Amino acid sequence: MADARGVTRELERLMERTVRRLTLRIYQAVTIANPVDTGFSRGSWRVTNSPPDLEGIKRPVVREIAESQGATLFSQHNQAAQALAGGYKLRQGQVFIWNPVFYVVFLNQGSSAQAPKRFIDRAIAKAVRATQAEVR
């Protein structure tokens, strides 16, 4: 029985490492791929253990405020993503990577010349492929 427990623990460690790496890769990929005008949308990406709040937020009207808030949000959310992913354990459950900015949907549909259509999907796929290659 000790061998079965050892195998189970090793599998859990492997899954936790994989979730950590995948979480950080996806977070980094979507933030890098996100087109930037003021940085508000890029700074709004979040990594959480609880389901997203689906009520969208709007960018401040004043450009300087949007830029300042975007930079602050990016710093805060990046630190939170690093902390959550760095210490992730299976018992914590699901990990959610999301952006509450209402217009990120339009950006993903190709409304910005800075990013291709479906940039979010492409970023996630790239992160998944990199993680799969590492696990193999």
Cβ distance 22 to 131 under 8 Å?
yes
| pLDDT tens column, 64-117 | 999 999 999 999 999 999 999 999 999 999 999 999 999 999 999 999 999 999
pLDDT, tens only, 34-57 = 999 999 999 999 999 999 987 888
Q: How far apart are CA 28 and CA 19, in angstroms?
A: 14
Whether 36 contacts 42, CB under 8 Å: yes
What do you get for the CA distance between the two ends of the chain, in Å?
A: 27
Strand pairing partners for 107? none
The domain of 55 spans 2-135
Burial (Cβ within 10 Å: 0-12, 13-18, ≥19) of residue 85: buried
Domain count, the chain: 1
